[in-house]
Amino acid sequence: MSVGGERSRRFLAERARSMRASEIRELLKLTEGRDIISLAGGLPDPQTFPREELAEIARRVIIERGNQALQYSPTLGVTEFRRVLKEFLSSHGVTVNSGDDVIVTTGSQEALYLIAKVFVDPGDVVFVEAPTYLAALNAFRHYGAYFKSAPLDDEGMRTDVLEERIKEARREGRRLKLIYTIPTSQNPSGVTMSLERRKHLLELAEEYDLLVVEDDPYSFFTFEPVEAEPLKTLDKSGRVIYLGTLSKILSPGLRIGWALAESWVVTALELAKQSVDLHSSTLSQFIAAEAMRKGLVDKTVEKARTIYKEKRDVMLESLEEYFPNSCRWTRPVGGLFIFAYLPEGLDTKAMLPEAIERGVAYVPGASFFAEGGGENTMRLNFSYPTKEQIREGIRRLGLLIKEKVGG
Ligand SMILES: Cc1ncc(COP(=O)(O)O)c(C=O)c1O
């Protein structure tokens, strides 16, 4: 989906003309209502939603505190929720400095958008991982970001390449702004950045005077212990803007995310947010505060950890069994995705209609690469489908790939 036609050319702003629908959303539409095993989306398993407890909290909040919970609230967020949130983050190893502040956003997606809006002028360089989260690329694109990317390996972003790309951008006389990274259980790759790389990334940010956007939806429910601390905690010079969300640890429908950063950053985001949506849902924030206080988020995290670990294992076993030896894939310690690399020459975008024909969908990997490439890659989601669907979906895909490569 894109915007076009004579009227649109006459009336739409330059900015809006370049808008494109995310390939993932288009794809999900294609599979809607059909009997297709979707390994394409990124939805949490509804089994993780604590329905009864949330219903009880919502009822109590509305009946007992409805005058505030159903009312407008400050742009920064409901004061009580922001206090509980800071405590939650501190108790989960995310350092909150005295000069920091937190703003509640409508999912972390809004935080990404606000960051693009307040920091990116056309042509400003944003350094990203290759591959990286598509909706972040689109938010930065909207404000004219110029991307330079560094590939990932088993230890996360190749910071040696990042350094080269930074130097290159400087030589080209560009204005350098941000490094955007998802250090833990990266989307789409599932890779986690090592401690050494995290430190190197922060050194580079310091040396070349860059801000770092740490997008962290997944570190709360890793299936195996991760030695590395958040960049926000390792950061000694206030360069990290830390983004989080309740989407994967309570419910995405509440649309609660946040940005934690030095207060000047939060003030800029607050001013930008005023004209976007005034504030995020007051009711959701009251519910979220209660859920955090009662330990419901931690309980949900434990449940998610168990469910997703099992599903990840089923996907890994199925890949081992059904994909040809010429393929490789990541082994994520958390998150919702495995990223597969097919033999060079195979084009996963071209192959998708055939896969859908056989009743299985995935996301072609190329759109996650800001500077092109990745045509032979695919993102596979294991959180939403059942274990049986994962096994069957991977079996069907494996067969299709084997036919293509003759292996
Ligand atoms: C890396 C990353 N960032 C941000 C988001 C946005 O999440 P939300 O807006 O639901 O908080 C997602 C969702 O999947 C994600 O994977």
pLDDT, one tens digit per residue, over 118-136 is: 999 999 999 999 999 999 9
- Work out the angle between the directed axes of helices 387-405 and 348-357 (0-180°, nearest 10): 120
The answer to whether residue 265 scores a pLDDT higher than 90 is yes
Closest residue by CA, ligand 1 atom 6 = 109
Which pLDDT score is estimated for 29? 75
Are residues 335 and 185 in contact, defined by beta-carbon separation less than 8 angstroms?
yes
Indicate the pLDDT class of residue 280, thresholds 50, 70 and 90. very high
Expressed in angstroms and rounded, the spacing between residue 389 Cα and the centre of ligand 1 is 24
Which pLDDT score is estimated for 326? 95
Q: Ligand 1 within 6 A of 147 CB?
A: no
Length of the chain in terms of residues written:
407
Multiple choice CATH, 51-295, 3.40.50.740, 3.40.50.1820, 1.10.760.10, 3.40.640.10: 3.40.640.10
Which pLDDT score is estimated for 27? 65
Q: Which atom of ligand 1 is nearest to the CA of 42?
A: 14
Which pLDDT score is estimated for 225? 86
Which pLDDT score is estimated for 9? 83
Which pLDDT score is estimated for 47? 96
Name the average pLDDT for the chain: 94
Summarised one tens digit per residue, pLDDT across range 210-244 is 999 999 999 998 998 888 899 999 999 999 999 99
Its CATH architecture, for the domain 6-49+299-405, is: Alpha-Beta Complex (3.90)
Rounded Cα distance between 384 and 188, Å, is 15
Are residues 301 and 249 in contact, defined by beta-carbon separation less than 8 angstroms?
yes
Q: How many CB atoms lie within 10 A of CB 72?
A: 9
Indicate the pLDDT class of residue 2, thresholds 50, 70 and 90. low
Which pLDDT score is estimated for 215? 98
Rounded Cα distance between 218 and 40, Å, is 18
Which pLDDT score is estimated for 221? 86
Which pLDDT score is estimated for 24? 60
Q: Ligand 1 within 6 A of 187 CB?
A: yes
Rounded Cα distance between 380 and 361, Å, is 9
Summarised one tens digit per residue, pLDDT across range 330-359 is 999 999 999 999 999 999 999 999 999 999
**Token couple for 292:** 């955090």
Which pLDDT score is estimated for 301? 96
Sign of the four-CA dihedral 318, 319, 325, 330:
negative
Expressed in angstroms and rounded, the spacing between residue 221 Cα and the centre of ligand 1 is 14
Question: What residue type is assigned to position 374 of the chain?
Answer: G
Which pLDDT score is estimated for 93? 94
> Domain boundaries in the chain?
6-49+299-405, 51-295
The answer to whether residue 407 scores a pLDDT higher than 60 is no
